[in-house]
Amino acid sequence: MKLTYTGKTKNVYALEDGNYLLQFKDDVTGENGVFDPGANTVGLTMEGAGRAGLKLTKFFFEKLQEKGIPTHYIAADIEKATMTVKPAQVFGEGLEVICRFRAVGSFLRRYGKYATDAQPLDAFVEVTLKDDDRQDPPISEDALDMLGILTKEEYQTLKSLTQQIAHVVKDELAVKGIELYDIKFEFGRVGEDKQIVLIDEISGGNMRAYKDGEYIEPLELEKMFL
């Protein structure tokens, strides 16, 4: 097993059979000890955060599998806080795809002149570049195509998968009276046919969820939901 990447919240190992092992850490993104799913730095370490993130991830990836939505998921070991996945090739140096049901976070910071806090948004999709030095800039469909990161056809696939998956998560949370405001995904190409699939994780660290108008912290979400 070879360590191939040290991320902010996970380590990535290459397994001998060609698959990857994601090791979930207890670090979560944020600033000055305050959690922020949109942040590009590790803000705090919370005992049990890795396992909690993996439990939610396992739940959602298995749900997607049942529904026939393609993902990198193979198996999860909660005790060890690891997940075995198919290796994927990311777009460019990595993209994040956000789906928004209410206006909060960076959307509100950017468009506050026209949008109001928590205003409903109809599964609005936007893409950002994973580029910490440039604070993950948003990028348009035209720019993605022009810069050779994603074809227009691939963009449509990505957008449609994003909305489908976000609705699955939203509906599952709704069963527990929890409302999904926004969520962030990563995608990659897998296998010989370079199929576009969901990669990475689906946990409290990648979404903003609220109950009765109150924001739910990632660790709290796991307890409330599972």
Ligand X SMILES: Nc1ncnc2c1ncn2[C@@H]1O[C@H](COP(=O)(O)OP(=O)(O)OP(=O)(O)O)[C@@H](O)[C@H]1O
Which residues of this chain interact with ligand X, rule CB under 6 A?
Answer: 5, 7-10, 12, 20, 72, 85-88, 90, 94, 130, 186, 188, 199-200
What's the closest the beta carbon of residue 61 comes to ligand X, in angstroms? 11
| Beta carbons within 10 angstroms of residue 67's beta carbon | 10
Q: Which lies closer to ligand X via its Cβ, residue 59 or residue 187?
A: 187
Q: Which lies closer to ligand X via its Cβ, residue 101 or residue 185?
A: 185
**The two three-digit tokens of residue 202, written as one number:** 């689906």
- Which amino acid is it at 133? D
- Residue with the closest Cβ to ligand X? 7
Q: Which lies closer to ligand X via its Cβ, residue 70 or residue 94?
A: 94
Helices (H), the chain: 49-66, 105-111, 141-146, 152-175, 218-225
Given phi > 0 = left and psi -120 to 50 = alpha, else beta, which region is 147?
Answer: alpha
What's the closest the beta carbon of residue 120 comes to ligand X, in angstroms? 28
Q: Which lies closer to ligand X via its Cβ, residue 103 or residue 165?
A: 165
**The two three-digit tokens of residue 70, written as one number:** 């393609």
What's the closest the beta carbon of residue 215 comes to ligand X, in angstroms? 21
What's the closest the beta carbon of residue 96 comes to ligand X, in angstroms? 9
**The two three-digit tokens of residue 225, written as one number:** 């939901």
